[in-house]
Amino acid sequence: MRAFNRLLGMAMGLALVGAGGFCALEVVLAAFGHAFLVLPASAYLRALRTTPWSATPTRAIVAAVAAAGLLLFVAEAWPRRPRLVRIPASDGAGQWWLRRTSIESHLRRHVVGVTPAQRARVRLGVRKQRWQARIRTVAPLHLRPEIEEVARQGLVRLGAPEATTIRVRVARSRRVA
């Protein structure tokens, strides 16, 4: 979503800069008595004076610009998962900042390395002093408590708060032995 926001913002910005620069050039040339270069000014002025706001093309253009602006606003205002996670230092003085993705990959490697799980997918949700780890893994179903305990140990080693919740979803392997 972040890439889409940036591309949409860049496209709108480039269009506005280009149109504004071109219009400024035309106005400056007209101020010095030169004819318009590209814009057929008389035709545009006539169209602007005679076209009512209730015309279909006017409404379509206004609706498209409003929709693009609203889409950009909603995309930017939508809350995202934090990139950095604050972890208090063990001595109580200061704090560490870790990337959420590095915590997720550490926990994934820990779960797959210690348990017989074949692969795991970890999503970490962080809200103030409460973490929530969602782990999806491929392993035998009876290993779910063991996987949860290993994940809890891995998070405790990283300094996760005690109010951390862990949800483990175990899918059976589809491989036939």
**Residue 140: predicted pLDDT:** 85
Are residues 73 and 91 both part of a single domain? no
Cα distance between residue 128 and residue 115, in whole Å: 30
Inside any domain, residue 10: yes
**Residue 64: predicted pLDDT:** 95
Is the CB of residue 75 less than 8 Å from the CB of residue 5?
A: yes
Q: Region 28-46: what's the mean pLDDT?
A: 78
Q: How many domains does the chain have?
A: 2
Are residues 97 and 165 both part of a single domain? yes
Is the per-residue pLDDT at 176 higher than 60? no
Is the per-residue pLDDT at 1 higher than 70? no
Is the per-residue pLDDT at 37 higher than 70? yes
Inside any domain, residue 160: yes
**Residue 77: predicted pLDDT:** 82
Q: Give the end of a domain, one of 59, 77, 95.
A: 77
Are residues 73 and 100 both part of a single domain? no
Inside any domain, residue 148: yes
What is the domain range of residue 24?
2-77
Are residues 53 and 93 both part of a single domain? no
Inside any domain, residue 177: no
Length, in residues, of the chain: 177
Range scoring the smallest mean pLDDT among 78-87, 143-152, 159-168: 78-87
Are residues 92 and 52 both part of a single domain? no
CATH code at position 118: 3.30.70.1350
Inside any domain, residue 176: no
Q: Region 125-131: what's the mean pLDDT?
A: 79
- Helix (H) and strand (E) counts for the chain? 5, 5
**Residue 74: predicted pLDDT:** 86
- For 63-121, what is each residue's pLDDT tens digit? 999 998 898 888 878 877 778 887 777 766 777 788 888 889 989 998 999 888 888 89
Are residues 96 and 122 both part of a single domain? yes
Range scoring the smallest mean pLDDT among 6-10, 149-153, 164-168: 6-10
In terms of Cα–Cα distance, which of 152, 146, 95 is closest to 122? 152
Percentage of the chain beyond pLDDT 70 is 94
Q: Give the end of a domain, one of 48, 77, 106.
A: 77
- For 50-62, what is each residue's pLDDT tens digit? 888 888 988 999 9
